[in-house]
Chains A and B, each alone.
Chain A
Amino acid sequence: MSFLRSRFVQAALILVLSAVILRFGIRPPAPWSVFTLYMAVVFLAVLIFVSSDSDSWRGFIRPIRSTLVDPDQRVLRSALVVVIPLLLGYYAYTQAAAKPQAPAELRAVHPAPPDTIQFRGKQINISGAENPLRKDQASRQKHVAAGAALYIRNCVYCHGDNLDGQGHFARGFNPPPANFQDPGTIAMLQEAYLFWRIAKGGPGLPRESTPWNSVMPSWEDRLTEEQIWQVIMYLYDATGQQPRRWETAH
């Protein structure tokens, strides 16, 4: 294992190991930009490490210098002079021949809700409204159970048994169905906001949320006001999330 004592081999080993750990050891995989940033930090650290004293620096430089200068390294030198430009040329080819990607679709995921909506000809306040079923603590379980039955008969094909947006049709639609287990969805929304989204569906979205793409139906055509509030009760109950409250005016 004497080659392990060479500063150059140590430096190379640290770089390779760091690359392997950063690339494969992190779940979920880190984005490419983060990977390159971390590798740059590791590279700087390795440079500081090998140049910590002049012996170390000379040990690090020796194999590089020898490859460039020594007469008995001529074969390796010639090989490197040929192989490195070829590799760079191949990389340039993969970049030049890259296929075009579909343009990115920007949309507001949680647009601002309207103050009021028309629900089957009746005006319903959204801004500041609370779930009316929550007042009646005695019937809470009844409403949650009714919501569960409604959910599994209407919502499960997209939003999934586990409420994680992984239903039967999840992979076929863009935007994908909402994942209610995610702390970025119902946990940061008021119940009345959910009422608006469920009642009006994709077609009721404002323009910045690309209403033409969403396949979320307008449930006011199929569910009553009470049924929608029951489904909302179930969503929070089953995921263990708490609805966001409306901010009170100061």
Chain B
Amino acid sequence: MRAGVCASGPSAAERACPCSTTSPAPFVAAARSHLRCHARSTSAGTGLAGAGRAPRRHSRRASTGAALGAAVALLASIVVDVAPALAQAGDAAAGQAVYQRKCMGCHGEKGDGKGPAAELLDPKPRDFTSGIYKIRTTSTRMPSDQDLFRVLTEGMPGTSMPPWAVLPERDRWNLIAYIKSFASEKFKEAPKKLELPKEVGASAESIKRGREMFEAIECNKCHGADGRADGPSRPELKDEWGQPIKPANLTKRWTFRGGPSRAAIATRLAAGVLGTPMPAFLDSVEKPDDIWHLANYIASLGPAAPAYGTLLTATAVGEAIPDDPQAELWKKMVGQNIPLMGQVIADPRNFNPSIDLVTVRAAYNDREIAFHLTWDDPTESKPDGKQTFADAIALQFPPTLEPGGERPYVLMGDAAEAVYQLRWDSGKGVSEVTANGPTRVRALAGSEATGKAAYANGQYQVVIKRGLGAQDASRPTFRPAVFTPIAFQAWDGGAGETGTRLSLTSWYYLRLEEPQSKARFVIPPVVALLALGAMLVIVWAANRRGLSVS
């Protein structure tokens, strides 16, 4: 619910509201009138007015009420700020000025998606003159103003379109008026709201039915059997403009262009994604409910947001560590997600990396340490050395720990300081290398590192193992309870990644956990017993005094 003058239309009060102007008013004054404006716009606003008056009366009860009212008004103003906005008519001329400052670099001066950044970006910026929009909640071809406003405000995850919530609301409505003017003919037809079938909750049966429909309507042809964007049609997919386009990885909902919620997924399924090979399925499913079963199934494939790890822990185990990536030991451990980014330091750069996430599990015993790495790669590449390159992953460590916390340069070290890497390459297996920068990588002689890889349905799982102790000074020694710097690099050979065309992380820390101490089982009972004793003494003392008084 959103009530009040601030959002309902361009009334006099609305135009005066400082939250929709760009004037650099002093922060405190702006914030104060912002609060006043929003307080006025809610029914709880009277509570705030009450708070202003009450202290003048000298009743204690009234001041308690005023404090309550102020608290409610404060909370209400927070709630109002995040409520969805009602559509407003924007001013295209005012929007043009904002467009030239904020949008032109990608979408181009003429709105044709040919700004100076366009050639770097993947997916490409929208060509507004085409009047084709991916995300819409309408059954007609054109999106509603709210659809455009939502995309502008929240951005498009997985693309270069950032959320523009930093722009004042008025500016965003003006921008929408201007953007529509690039294809004003097409926007003449009034959009009709898409009516979704009645919502079906996510249950085991619904997800099972969704999985059946997933195969029946051939979602797997593009999105792959497990939804990892590795379907057989993947190489042939083209968008409206003839550009190659990748299917969505359905296990990474946080990259969905229109948002990760079940309702958003159901809407994309029902209405399709215009300009892409993703069709509207409302009429191709057996029963309208199937849209929700499919949405429930897709939502069950992965989390809405990735929980990224910060500190990697290697678990102490008493047994031998299996090389088999499918072994029970690895299934029992919780993976730690690490985001990977494009390498843009050394030429050739990699602005649109293929691998954006690796899930790490690690274990050690008294002899060796093992890393279990899981990442999505839509193509299993068999290197031929010319066109197809190897898929690869590398774990990077400093060969020695410097006392001052110094370490080699994160991108494979430099001339002065080398890094040590444990690598796995498709077609070659596990190796140990030393590097003095990305162009000076040498294999270490006498490697004792071993490992095994498995590839299935668009996902690699690799185990890399090594002894705890170092054979020589080029290799690190792993010790329990020590924070060891670690970094990751990955290559998707199928996407043409090799050499410096890679994705990488910053330095993280790896810690081999100590065998669990018993302190956590001893301290809490002692604390509880002491507290019990103190409580009993208080009750006893109070009763003695209480009796003697009476």
What count of chain B residues pass the 8 Å CB interface test? 67
- Chain A residues touching B, range: 35 or more
* CB contact list, A8-66 vs B, under 8 A: 10, 13-14, 17, 20-21, 24-25, 27, 65
Would you call B339 and A171 a contact (CB within 8 A)?
yes
For residue B345, CB closer than 8 A to chain A, the reply is yes
Among listed A86-94, A132-140, A192-200, interface-contacting one: A86-94
Q: Which residues of A contact B505 (CB under 8 A)?
A: 172
Q: Is the CB of A68 within 8 A of B546?
A: yes
A69 to chain B, nearest CB (A): 4
Cβ of A112 under 8 Å from chain B: no
Question: What 0/1 readout, one digit per residue, does chain B (503-516) give for beta carbons within 8 Å of chain A?
Answer: 01111110100000
User: What A residues does B410 contact at CB under 8 A?
Assistant: 212-215
| Cβ contact within 8 Å between B67 and A17 | yes
Determine the main DSSP class of B at the interface with A: mixed
Interface mask (A192-233 → B, CB under 8 Å = 1, otherwise 0): 000000000111000100111111010000000000000000
B519 at the interface (CB under 8 A from A): yes
Do A102 and B509 touch across chains, with their CB atoms under 8 A apart?
Answer: yes
B176 touches A (CB below 8 Å): no
Q: Judge whether B527 and A172 touch: CB under 8 Å.
A: no
- Find out whether the CB atom of B535 lies under 8 angstroms from the CB atom of A20: no
Can you name the residue of chain B whose Cβ is closest to the Cβ of A217?
A: B345
Contact of A156 among B105, B339, B524, B535 (CB under 8 A): B105
Known: A96-B520, A96-B523. A152 touches B106 (CB 8 A): yes
Q: Are B116 and A153 in contact (CB under 8 A)?
A: yes
* A69 and B117 contacting across the interface, CB-CB below 8 Å: no
Complex Cα distance, B313 from A172, in Å, reads 19
In the complex formed, the residue of A with least CB distance to B105 is A152
B162 touches A172 (CB 8 A): no
| Known A102-B483, A103-B509, A172-B341; contact A89-B406, beta-carbon cutoff 8 A | no
Q: Across the interface, do A173 and B524 meet the contact criterion of CB distance under 8 Å?
A: no
In this complex, which of B64, B78, B344, B542 has the most chain A Cβ atoms within 10 angstroms of its Cβ? B344
Judged by a CB distance under 8 angstroms, whether A168 is at the interface is: yes
> A100–B517 Cα gap in the complex (Å)?
13
Query: Residue of A at shortest CB range from B533?
Result: A85
Return chain B residues, CB-CB under 8 Å to A91.
527
Knowing A69-B543, A92-B523, A173-B506, the reply to whether A149 touches B116 (Cβ < 8 A) is yes
Spell out B's residues near A (CB within 8 Å). Answer: 24, 64, 67-68, 71, 74-75, 78, 101-102, 105-106, 115-117, 120, 160, 162, 164, 166, 308, 310-311, 313, 339-342, 344-346, 351, 405-411, 414, 417, 483, 504-509, 511, 519-520, 523-525, 527-532, 535-536, 538-539, 542-543, 546
